[in-house]
Structure 1
């Protein structure tokens, strides 16, 4: 059952941002706020700010922001409900269930919870099997041969499935779990041609528990220990309601903390590779478990770091076949390095062969950026064949086009030019062709997705630098208005008029260019209709992460004036809150000025088009009149702002 709103509200009221963040990082007081080095990215100077008064945190380095619940979600890599449970446990709050859910939602929720329960039962069953006579002689002896210590076996919930037809099924039914649930969890199968016979999916195999981010068992991988060529080496859990192969990485639960601390994630292929690296003292490692890397898996890693180091077996053919994964990682906005092991070695075998210290040193010394790796992989054969050399250049440029950051892309263009001994301008020209084609394809894809039957020709016109600049200026001024509204909306600018009433009256006919600002404005207006005058805390209780993040940005100043200026040195400064009426009035004028400037440019373009298309004299005159009216508005606003206009 889902968590009730009452429980969520009690958690919000009780959870203290200083206590919650303090469990993870040491905080030091500076001014009104507390500061620390950000736990979400590496930094030497503290840019992570915690405001006890506002009950929020914000990092001015990486942009992470939120309340105590969001912090737990970010630091633990878990969902909203899991974060509520975490904080409820911390503060001793009883968790109540939401009984207002629809019958369908209740059934779906109960089924998911039942799957977690039965999968946990299976995990414990497999783990306990290691202590049976069969488990010790086969499963445990295999783990010991691989050098897996008891603590590692416990850490990863390694186990053994007995070599029998239905041992798990019998035990599960005795514990009250139904056959239907066991089938949905992927733990048992129905025999073909006999609807009454069921058997365990995993039999006579060692088991590797697959955990979600919160540490719950969601599936299993099972390895056979005999040389039976009729049987696959590994059997994995099928897709279920709680296990989606494309969304999870093996070892992510055990690795997430280390990935964040090291600001790097090692990516390997199999279960034993992950475990061997842990034995070698390297915990920031996950595996794609033999499947091709997916977009969702890349996004999962990006929640904890922007850096991936891919570890490749010493097999050139296999490496070349997997290069598409690097392009996907680049497209996901992450930085990629690669390490290749000697021929015939993989991370698991090499770690056991050379030992922990030498293995860690090898990773440090052999890690190269993706361009050096890609060019080095084909350099020998490309040097002997001009056609293959040209193909290599095209592959490199194609990979460069996947990098979303133009500065990083530019750096790698220079490096590629040097390594390929090719003119930088040639690479840049080819890259621009790919980028331009990609932009055009994306543009027409979006247009085709729209319901409008035709595309106005003016939408195909390129946006000038001046137009882009004006739009950005308007968005900045919109942000400033929202900042005043959220921070001071409840204050009074006169005996009868509040800040929010004045701002909303003056901008009634305006539509903001920034979508999230329109959402915040709509929430503000809805609250007023309900008789509420929302303060910042009102927005922080909304579960929309985009709105919450933007509001935190609006209410969190990056710099704070020391109180010593006034208390010790008697140096007094003017604050915006000292004269809210003027601050708000000036903001409205500046916003209107920028909007009118944009309208003036549009009116000027309309006049030019009318003249070029030889429109009627009346049509041109009408557009000129519109332009002059806007110009008069601009002059009036400039006068109110005290701007001297010369003609």
Structure 2
């Protein structure tokens, strides 16, 4: 169990903008950063990070919280896992407190965590086999050296080797206490009827571990080295609870910072393409691992950049298959370029032949936009056949139809018009046809809109002012709870009190009941803190790791918009934090006034009942007098 001192050290050291910056391309927006939501497709950035407050808020989904909360959301980490990941990133040593889980807790250990653990064990095992055994060095290590890989690159990508013995790893894992069931579910071992001792899936292959965005091992790719064996050259882990091939990009963990820094992602086909480019110093590169590009993979790239250059080795089948990837990337609003290497070269061989500067320059200058690329490929096949030429142009316009931005569409059509000498009108007509074809048989998805506030005004509905003011009081406690305000008592004596204590005292008067269940929880936590001499304001609630609470607190603490700098025009505004004493005082009086009005309405509704109503009339008179006193304080004009 991680000690409280370590947790405090982690929270005081980590920077939310650095943690999130590895997953989302952030751009400065005043004192905050903004980016596209990593949790939902959107075109306008609504994801806000506040370095000063060390929190984030995703206004498209309502999620928000601290850096640790973000790691839990994006990586499906548990709280301890997120803490350990952050500690590792910042070089913080984890101090453990003595904690022995019960048998029930041991039994409750999730299968998902066991899958992560067995993959870590396998990854260490494969690396140890390659570096520390005679067989591994003679076969696996020699292969990578033959491919001209340096030791630091081999270590960086954690490359390994699975020995020839058919159940070497299976036996090793069973001896360490892992069950046949978890080995089988991980795909690392197979247990056929004729071989009860199990068989290693990747035996006698070099190993390429596949990592998540944060660096956890999800699965493996493996290459057989013998040419006379009738089996697939490459073998991948099967789909598991933690590994979904269509949602993973090889090399993303090692490349994400370079992609964000360069604002460009190079997309290649194979593992060795990624590794060779890294070794040459070109690190902003990932691979789809031989699969067709998927929407999930594109979304991973889009967290870091909207610019993609696809690198091909000139294989005709692969080039034609790339047309689908072009349309998918365009539909996600990506800016794409494509590059064909010279005959006989792929990214791996080209990077090994040439120095970094030459390779980078070649990619930058030779990459074409998708219009030029498709034109070159399709017109080469069309020759002088006018029908095939028309079909080629129609195919290019079809790709433009996938572009969601109307302005970009017009620019692309102008480019096609200039290239082929066609009228823009005919191209726009074709674009309209292609859009109809693309949309045929589909209906727009109607998603329910989640209200951002607990009070919603719609047809026949009115906003409850008492609840609105209750929300404001809770907001003031979360934002300024530990701030001390100066007050005077009835005798004219000055005293000091915190915002939290003053608002709690106000809410405790007149038997007022908190209306919102979420506000009830917040006020209860704050009250319990006061009983323990703790002032629990905004950031305290992030430690509770409650999604509903952290979302509300982040909503309170982060303003998605900032005022312009009007001081340069000699126009000055008071900021909210500069008028907290008056603001708290006014909101409390307004809240009490609305509570009084609610009591008057309640009594008036009771006047219809039988019996002597003299007492109720007297209550209404007294409450109206109290209301008038508050109106006077609030400078109301009656």
Return closer, same or farther for 1:440/1:575 CA change in 2, 3 Å cut-off. Answer: farther
Counterpart residue number, 2:354: 354
Alignment of 1:384-403 (within 5 A): 384-403=384-403
Counterpart residue number, 2:426: 426
**Cα displacement string for residues 406-437 of structure 1 (whole angstroms, at most 9, x for unaligned residues):** 33333223222222322222222332344456
* CA RMSD in angstroms, aligned pairs only: 5.3
Is 1:554 equivalent to 2:559 in the alignment? yes
Asked whether the equivalents of residues 486 and 535 of structure 1 are also in contact (C-alpha less than 8 Å), the reply is no
Q: Distance in 1 between matches of 2:296 and 2:517?
A: 32
Counterpart residue number, 1:374: 374
Q: Distance in 2 between matches of 1:575 and 1:122?
A: 57
Q: Distance in 2 between matches of 1:375 and 1:278?
A: 31
Asked whether the equivalents of residues 161 and 207 of structure 1 are also in contact (C-alpha less than 8 Å), the reply is yes
Q: Distance in 2 between matches of 1:575 and 1:138?
A: 68
Is 1:205 equivalent to 2:195 in the alignment? no
Is 1:152 equivalent to 2:148 in the alignment? no
Counterpart residue number, 2:144: 143
Asked whether the equivalents of residues 169 and 199 of structure 1 are also in contact (C-alpha less than 8 Å), the reply is yes
Offset of 1:150 from its aligned partner? 0.6
Indicate which of 539, 547, 552 corresponds to 1:543.
Answer: 547
Offset of 1:250 from its aligned partner? 1.2
**Cα displacement string for residues 512-539 of structure 1 (whole angstroms, at most 9, x for unaligned residues):** xxxxxxxxx9855875799989976588
Asked whether the equivalents of residues 213 and 252 of structure 2 are also in contact (C-alpha less than 8 Å), the reply is yes
Asked whether the equivalents of residues 220 and 236 of structure 1 are also in contact (C-alpha less than 8 Å), the reply is yes
Offset of 1:256 from its aligned partner? 1.4
Is 1:83 equivalent to 2:82 in the alignment? yes
**Cα displacement string for residues 534-567 of structure 1 (whole angstroms, at most 9, x for unaligned residues):** 97658867526876775555366354677x99xx
Asked whether the equivalents of residues 126 and 161 of structure 1 are also in contact (C-alpha less than 8 Å), the reply is yes
Q: Distance in 1 between matches of 2:470 and 2:342?
A: 58
Return closer, same or farther for 1:308/1:573 CA change in 2, 3 Å cut-off. Answer: closer
Offset of 1:310 from its aligned partner? 1.0
Offset of 1:399 from its aligned partner? 1.4
Counterpart residue number, 1:639: none
**Cα displacement string for residues 567-606 of structure 1 (whole angstroms, at most 9, x for unaligned residues):** xx9x86455786869x99xxxxxxxxxxxxxxxxxxxxxx
Q: 1:326 is paired with a residue of what secondary structure?
A: helix
Q: Distance in 2 between matches of 1:438 and 1:539?
A: 47
Alignment of 1:262-341 (within 5 A): 262-341=262-341
Offset of 1:378 from its aligned partner? 1.3
Return closer, same or farther for 1:335/1:124 CA change in 2, 3 Å cut-off. Answer: same
Asked whether the equivalents of residues 250 and 289 of structure 2 are also in contact (C-alpha less than 8 Å), the reply is yes
Q: 1:376 is paired with a residue of what secondary structure?
A: helix
Q: 2:304 is paired with a residue of what secondary structure?
A: coil
Return closer, same or farther for 1:14/1:436 CA change in 2, 3 Å cut-off. Answer: same
Offset of 1:277 from its aligned partner? 0.7
Q: Distance in 1 between matches of 2:326 and 2:93?
A: 46
Counterpart residue number, 2:363: 363
Offset of 1:207 from its aligned partner? 1.3
Asked whether the equivalents of residues 16 and 54 of structure 2 are also in contact (C-alpha less than 8 Å), the reply is no
Structure with the greater relative contact order (CA < 8 A, sep ≥ 6): 1 or 2? 2
Q: Distance in 2 between matches of 1:347 and 1:97?
A: 51
Counterpart residue number, 1:232: 232
Return closer, same or farther for 1:39/1:277 CA change in 2, 3 Å cut-off. Answer: farther
Asked whether the equivalents of residues 17 and 57 of structure 1 are also in contact (C-alpha less than 8 Å), the reply is no
Return closer, same or farther for 1:254/1:392 CA change in 2, 3 Å cut-off. Answer: same
Is 1:15 equivalent to 2:11 in the alignment? yes
Counterpart residue number, 1:127: 127
Q: Distance in 2 between matches of 1:155 and 1:260?
A: 19
Q: Distance in 2 between matches of 1:109 and 1:21?
A: 32
Asked whether the equivalents of residues 19 and 67 of structure 2 are also in contact (C-alpha less than 8 Å), the reply is no
Asked whether the equivalents of residues 69 and 83 of structure 1 are also in contact (C-alpha less than 8 Å), the reply is yes
**Cα displacement string for residues 415-463 of structure 1 (whole angstroms, at most 9, x for unaligned residues):** 222223222222223323444565675436659x9xxxxxxxxxxxxxx
Return closer, same or farther for 1:346/1:176 CA change in 2, 3 Å cut-off. Answer: same
Return closer, same or farther for 1:178/1:14 CA change in 2, 3 Å cut-off. Answer: closer
Asked whether the equivalents of residues 15 and 54 of structure 2 are also in contact (C-alpha less than 8 Å), the reply is no
Asked whether the equivalents of residues 211 and 253 of structure 1 are also in contact (C-alpha less than 8 Å), the reply is yes
Asked whether the equivalents of residues 312 and 339 of structure 1 are also in contact (C-alpha less than 8 Å), the reply is yes
Aligned length: 518
Counterpart residue number, 1:69: 68
Return closer, same or farther for 1:134/1:210 CA change in 2, 3 Å cut-off. Answer: same
**Cα displacement string for residues 286-323 of structure 1 (whole angstroms, at most 9, x for unaligned residues):** 11111111221111222222222111111233201221
Q: Distance in 2 between matches of 1:522 and 1:382?
A: 68
Offset of 1:245 from its aligned partner? 1.1
Q: Distance in 2 between matches of 1:483 and 1:261?
A: 41
**Cα displacement string for residues 228-270 of structure 1 (whole angstroms, at most 9, x for unaligned residues):** 2512211221122222111111111111121111111111111
Q: Distance in 1 between matches of 2:97 and 2:387?
A: 68
Q: 2:140 is paired with a residue of what secondary structure?
A: helix
Asked whether the equivalents of residues 268 and 274 of structure 1 are also in contact (C-alpha less than 8 Å), the reply is yes
Q: Distance in 2 between matches of 1:546 and 1:59?
A: 9
Q: Distance in 2 between matches of 1:418 and 1:229?
A: 53
Q: Distance in 1 between matches of 2:540 and 2:116?
A: 35
Asked whether the equivalents of residues 221 and 236 of structure 1 are also in contact (C-alpha less than 8 Å), the reply is yes
TM-score by length of 1: 0.65
Offset of 1:324 from its aligned partner? 0.4
Q: Distance in 2 between matches of 1:410 and 1:559?
A: 33
**Cα displacement string for residues 27-64 of structure 1 (whole angstroms, at most 9, x for unaligned residues):** xxxxxx995988999xxxxx997453x4436899xx99
**Cα displacement string for residues 74-98 of structure 1 (whole angstroms, at most 9, x for unaligned residues):** 9x97856443333466676767999
Asked whether the equivalents of residues 486 and 551 of structure 1 are also in contact (C-alpha less than 8 Å), the reply is no
Return closer, same or farther for 1:527/1:23 CA change in 2, 3 Å cut-off. Answer: closer
Asked whether the equivalents of residues 16 and 55 of structure 1 are also in contact (C-alpha less than 8 Å), the reply is no
Counterpart residue number, 2:55: 56
| Structure 2, gaps ≥5 residues long | 22-28, 38-46, 449-457, 460-467, 489-501, 504-515, 528-534, 588-638
Q: Distance in 1 between matches of 2:348 and 2:288?
A: 15
Return closer, same or farther for 1:352/1:240 CA change in 2, 3 Å cut-off. Answer: same
Q: Distance in 1 between matches of 2:519 and 2:359?
A: 57
Asked whether the equivalents of residues 401 and 434 of structure 1 are also in contact (C-alpha less than 8 Å), the reply is yes
Return closer, same or farther for 1:551/1:313 CA change in 2, 3 Å cut-off. Answer: farther
Q: Distance in 1 between matches of 2:358 and 2:347?
A: 12
Counterpart residue number, 1:626: none
Q: Distance in 2 between matches of 1:228 and 1:482?
A: 76
